[in-house]
Amino acid sequence: MSLGRIFKSDDFPVLKRLVSENFRRFAPQYALAMALMAIVAGTTGLSAWLMKDLINKVFVDRDPWYMWVICGSVVAIYTLKGVASYGQEVLLSRIGNNIVAMMQRRIFDRIIRQDLAFFQRNASSDLITRLTQNAQAASSALNLLATSLGRDLFTVLSLLVVMITQDPLLTGIALIGMPLLFVVVGRLLKQVRKLFTSEVRSLASIIATMQETIHGIRIIKAFRLEDAMRTRMDESVSAVERLSNRMVKAQAATNPLIDALGGIAVASVVFYGGWRVIYTGATPGEFFAFITALLMATDPARRLARLHLSLAASAVGVRMLYDLMDAEPAVKDRPDAVPLDVPQGEIRFAGVTFGYDPEAPVLQDIDLTAEAGRTTALVGLSGSGKSTVFNLVMRFWTPQQGRVEIDGTDLSGVIADTLYDHVALVSQDVFLFDGTIAENILRGRPGATEDEMIAAAKAASAHDFILKLPNGYATNVGEFGGQLSGGQRQRISIARAFLKNAPILLLDEPTSALDAESDAAIQEALKELMKGRTTLIIAHRLATVASADRIYVMDQGRVAETGTHDALVRKGGVYARLHQLQFAGSE
């Protein structure tokens, strides 16, 4: 049975791609490793060959000179074998670690280039699994090929040479069961692929449960969900355990067959070899050299027989890795994209229709303008499309119809990075990186001086509380800013926007997590920051946007009203009703 029939049709292309991308890169190292493995194989064959002279010259002829020669040869052979084994193992480990690191960098680079739709389609646990398990699968596949071809195959071939030179007929008898072994291995491959794919998914489930436990520990404690999470984790762990056991069972299924065929081969060889020594006068040295080579070939032959199963499992992981690495973002720069120039900063939506699901539009035929250097507010009930407007300005998504422009330039035709350079975003969902407060503020403008950073913190009304912390600006914020309060996190986020000093500001409920005193201080700071800049602000509290130059009232994905605060209140429409409800609730 050919390898082409044993492997699944799409195993070869993905493994060929993996080899072509990496073997050439590491060709010198692999060549040296192969040479060392050839030495290991050669010394193994030579040690079997010595059995002939050991038996005939030492034990039969009792020649003391040959005894010294053979003993010295054995010491030299095994010393050389040990040095070569050490060298090839260290080389392959270094190559494998390099490949894992390189693949992880490529995977992360591909992930971070994706659009928001990609992250909505793919669970974080699945992406983490691919970054870890699948990158390791690539290294495992290459090392399997290298060790199987360079060590096991060379060893089997060197021992076959010894066997054939001693007795070709005995060699044929020893190999008579090989076709049956290939048939059994071919039938196991489909099961191994299916099990490995399920195992990867179950591992992702474990990671997902752990992530939810860490991020949702307050809710878990408050609602006493510990037992439910334990049950969920137990189910995921048990699933991996069952699949791993089935995987081992499937991969080990060849062992009884190999041992049985090996036993039959050895028994046949012993019978025929003994008959030749007894009845035809053949020397016992030839027979023992043959039987030694046959026994020494058992382990590498076993590994070669299982190579198909191991490679098939690795191919599943490599295929999943390449599926991710080949994924192209739906929103990306066009080939003719140009840098964005922002001389003024006017934002304009012209007939924009957009839906995350094209069949269910979130925005419908929107026309709005955020004038350069002025403050424009978006208000309305939750789900009216306000945040979607921000997403389109940042070009996280592209509209199905219409144009989003900055100073007359359609954002679909600009280089995204140059757009982000001109926009500062402060979201109500504050995100802080694991690190110090200073590091988080400096994310706004890497390379800014310490004085500039402190000035930004003061402007955001964050400097005073930072100095009260044990390590000041060097205080670690913890994972997702968990060491700080919500208001403190928000003020650091605002300081980050101050430091960026972009001509366009997107403020999504920037004071939503602040107390009354901090809110008043931030409002004054924001007024100073917004001078001369185009500001688009989302607010549910109408008092926050009362001083805006223009207010757009969003309702079910459309612009229901537009005007100033006073004009909209006098109009008695949607805005006036929202205003009345908020102030009635306040009273």
Number of domains present in the structure of the chain:
2
What SS3 class is residue 554?
Answer: strand
**Is 542 found in the same domain as 397?**
yes
Q: Name the burial class of residue 187, with classes exposed (0-12), middle (13-18) and buried (19+) by CB atoms within 10 angstroms of its CB.
A: exposed
Q: Is the confidence at residue 195, as pLDDT, over 70?
A: no
Strand 375-379 versus strand 363-370 pairing type:
unpaired
Q: Identify whether 452 is part of a domain.
A: no
Supply the pLDDT for residue 8.
Answer: 45
Of 268, 300, 325, the residue that ends a domain is 325
Mean pLDDT of the chain: 78
573: which strand partners? none
CATH, residue 416:
3.40.50.300
Tokens standing for residue 546: 């009362």
Domain encompassing residue 390: 337-422+507-513+537-587
> Residue 337's closest CA among 413, 411, 394, 407?
413
Q: What is the CA radius of gyration of the chain?
A: 35
Q: Identify whether 582 is part of a domain.
A: yes
**Is 163 found in the same domain as 262?**
yes
Q: Identify whether 207 is part of a domain.
A: yes
Across the range 263-291, mean pLDDT stands at: 68
369: which strand partners? 348
Across the range 509-530, mean pLDDT stands at: 68
Read off the pLDDT band of 462 (50, 70, 90). Answer: confident
Supply the pLDDT for residue 1.
Answer: 32
Q: Identify whether 13 is part of a domain.
A: yes
**Is 99 found in the same domain as 43?**
yes
Q: Identify whether 469 is part of a domain.
A: no
**Is 362 found in the same domain as 308?**
no
Tokens 């408050």 sit at which residue?
A: 222
**Is 319 found in the same domain as 215?**
yes
Supply the pLDDT for residue 7.
Answer: 39
Read off the pLDDT band of 403 (50, 70, 90). Answer: very high
Tokens 């984790």 sit at which residue?
A: 233
Segment 312-360, tens digit of pLDDT: 777 777 887 888 888 887 777 888 889 888 888 899 999 999 988 777 8
Read off the pLDDT band of 587 (50, 70, 90). Answer: very low
Supply the pLDDT for residue 6.
Answer: 34
Task: Tell me phi and psi for residue 345, to 5 degrees.
Answer: 110, 20
Across the range 287-292, mean pLDDT stands at: 71
> Residue 293's closest CA among 445, 167, 135?
167
| pTM given for the model | 0.70
Task: Tell me phi and psi for residue 539, to 5 degrees.
Answer: -150, 140
Segment 525-556, tens digit of pLDDT: 677 777 778 999 988 777 778 888 899 998 88
CB-side neighbour CA atoms (13 Å) of 321: 28
Torsion sign, CA atoms 233, 235, 240, 242: positive
**Is 179 found in the same domain as 44?**
yes
Across the range 52-77, mean pLDDT stands at: 71
Q: Is the confidence at residue 18, as pLDDT, over 60?
A: yes
**Is 341 found in the same domain as 319?**
no
Q: Identify whether 307 is part of a domain.
A: yes
**Is 318 found in the same domain as 405?**
no
Comparison of pLDDT for 526 and 266, the residue scoring more = 526
Comparison of pLDDT for 233 and 67, the residue scoring more = 233
**Is 16 found in the same domain as 105?**
yes
What SS3 class is residue 553?
Answer: strand
Q: Identify whether 428 is part of a domain.
A: no
Q: Identify whether 573 is part of a domain.
A: yes
507: which strand partners? 426, 537
What is 347-401 written as a DSSP string? Answer: EEEEEEEE-SBTTB-SEEEEEEEE-TTSEEEEE-STTSSHHHHHHHHTTSS--SE
CATH, residue 19:
1.20.1560.10
Tokens 């805006």 sit at which residue?
A: 548
Q: Which of 211-215, 488-492, 553-557, 571-575 has the lowest mean pLDDT?
A: 211-215
Supply the pLDDT for residue 96.
Answer: 82
**Is 194 found in the same domain as 126?**
yes
Q: Is the confidence at residue 292, as pLDDT, over 90?
A: no
**Is 408 found in the same domain as 296?**
no
Of 325, 345, 372, the residue that ends a domain is 325
Across the range 461-471, mean pLDDT stands at: 86
Comparison of pLDDT for 180 and 136, the residue scoring more = 136
Could you tell me the strand order of the sheet in which 423-426 lies? Answer: 423-426, 504-508, 534-538, 375-379, 550-555, 558-563
Tokens standing for residue 145: 């090929």
Q: Is the confidence at residue 3, as pLDDT, over 70?
A: no
Of 325, 360, 390, the residue that ends a domain is 325
What SS3 class is residue 512?
Answer: coil
**Is 179 found in the same domain as 68?**
yes
